[in-house]
Structure 1
């Protein structure tokens, strides 16, 4: 089995659920996978063609009115490769969080910049908590898979709630600082000791 990207397997997983047009596939990936596997939309439009070239998916053209569209479906080989991939160990968890990079290097700026970053983190996490709650309240698109959606949504919600709580805590801590280079009487060692316990 040739090594493919996780995005390849993610799209095969969606194709295992049903056939999709390129547009539908990209939108469903953005709606469901983007919470834990964010990818550029362009990549989501290009990858199905690679799956077809590898014999893991088929593509057929159809039209709705005057608009042509391509519908992709998984092949038996695609189902076998997806199942084989599930046996492989997953790569270690990784995540990008640009705002946290800004917090980490906040001493290159001022307190107002740091506060603004923390406020944005808090607002975004709050928005994401609400979006996840809205998603959970809607009827599932694939009712036969609701148990798997519930597992993944729960982890994402826990992570967003943790970020939300941390951002509120961090704003309270930073309010005690004199500057980003002088935390005044704030006891960083007490925080580190609590983490080390």
Structure 2
């Protein structure tokens, strides 16, 4: 089985420290979901694949009678990770169902369009609050891995600005559609004057 970007994401986490599969899932949710979202079931398979490739080792640990599998990176895994970091990464790919619904809102009604934009705004506000909490944690305590803070800051800043953009867009879209009476030019939709301009 070939390694995927998800394999390398897990390998990157193992380079930080050993994890149980449960801890890996938690850490993926905490630190990687915003830039590399994957289903939990995939995350339970990937460490096993790394072991098969000799990039990680696993061992059983017990808490009472509860058995956990702990995964740890090998030297071959660290070398493979360094080689992967040398290969140019693919650019962003947007997967955004709410925006898809906005893009085809002319096949529905104005209430649906406004509701979809409002949901996007609320989601952006929730994300902004979560990012603000995380940023405060990093600033006050350095987070759980203060030695990694310089590189964490680079991606954290991107995610904060991405959420700020999403919120600005949703607020702008709500203002623009507040004056519409429909979702097509015939029913009262209008092209916003600054929609295609590069001025902000």
State the TM-score, normalizing by the size of structure 2: 0.92
In 2: Cα distance, 1:179 partner to 1:192 partner: 18
1:68 is displaced (CA, Å) by 0.5
Give the equivalent residue in structure 1 for 2:156: 153
The residue number in structure 2 matching 1:103 is 102
The TM-score, its normalising length taken from structure 1, stands at 0.94
In 2: Cα distance, 1:17 partner to 1:192 partner: 44
In the alignment, the residues of structure 1 paired with residue 60 and residue 27 of structure 2 have an alpha-carbon distance, to the nearest angstrom, of: 20
Partners in 1 of 2:88 and 2:157 — Cα distance?
A: 22
Distance 2:194 2:77 in 1: 50
Partners of 1:36 and 1:107 in 2: CA distance: 31
Displacement of 1:191: 3.0
Written as runs of structure 1 = structure 2, the 5 A alignment for 1:78-117 is 78-117=77-116
Alignment of 1:55-66 (within 5 A): 55-66=54-65
Q: Unpaired segments of 5 or more residues in structure 2?
A: none
How far apart are 1:192 and its partner, in Å?
4.5
Rounded to whole Å, the distance in 2 between the matches of 1:149 and 1:193 is 34
Contact 2:181 / 2:189 at 8 angstroms: preserved in 1? no
SS in 2 for 1:63: strand
DSSP-derived class of the 2:194 partner: helix
- Whether 2:51 is the aligned partner of 1:47: answer no
Is 1:181 the counterpart of 2:188? The answer is: no
Tell me if the contact between 2:20 and 2:71 (Cα under 8 Å) persists in the aligned partners: yes
* Segment of structure 1 superposing worse, 110-119 or 2-11: 2-11
**1:3-14 matched pairs, under 5 angstroms:** 4-14=3-13
Query: Which range is displaced more, 155-164 or 91-100?
Result: 91-100
**Kindly tell me: are residues 192 and 172 of structure 1, through their superposed partners in 2, closer, same or farther at Cα, counting changes over 3 Å?**
closer
Deviation of 1:193 after TM superposition, in Å, equals 4.3
2:47/2:71 contact within 8 Å kept: yes
Looking at structure 2, the residues matched to 14 and 131 of structure 1 have their Cα atoms a distance apart, in angstroms, of 21
Moved more, 89-98 or 121-130: 89-98
Task: Please give the root-mean-square deviation of Cα atoms over the aligned residues, in Å.
Answer: 1.7
* Equivalent pair of 2:61/2:68 in contact (CA under 8 Å): yes
